[in-house]
Amino acid sequence: MRIMLAATAVFAAVPSANALEGDAEAGAQVFKKCAVCHNIESADKKVGPSLQGVIGRQPGTAAGFNYSKAMIAFGQGKIWNEDLLKTYLANPREVVKGTRMAFPGLKKNEDIANVIAYVKQFSHTN
């Protein structure tokens, strides 16, 4: 019984891979790849929509941006949250087939966690 309780305590103390906490400062550096096409410090669009307030927003709905039909369809019934962003940022063109976004994605889980931590600072749900 003691061994089982000790093992349970050890597993409970180890964070899961899904709970990887990002570093917003490092994420600001990673976001420079995104900033070529996306603004986050204001609602102004660039080539892509502003990402200000993206967490908590339905995909394909930023005001004033002309989204692809693929992104609009993808967004039906979804809200950008950390889990959806993790999946999307790893391979946007695979997740939203037919998107106009040319970015191939972030390959390192650490970069994804960091950029999400950075983006959260510009969200209404942070």
The tens place of each residue's pLDDT in the chain, 126 residues long, gives 444 434 444 434 444 444 468 999 999 999 999 999 999 999 999 999 999 999 999 999 999 999 999 999 999 999 999 999 999 999 999 999 999 999 999 999 999 999 999 999 998 754
pLDDT score at 9: 40
Q: How far apart are CA 110 and CA 77, in angstroms?
A: 28
For position 27, what pLDDT does the model report? Answer: 97
| pLDDT, position 124 | 75
Q: What domains are there in the chain, each with its CATH number?
A: 22-120 (1.10.760.10)
User: Taking the mean position of all CA atoms in its chain, how far away is CA 95?
Assistant: 13
The model's pTM: 0.81
In degrees to the nearest 10, what's the CA dihedral of 27, 67, 88, 80?
80
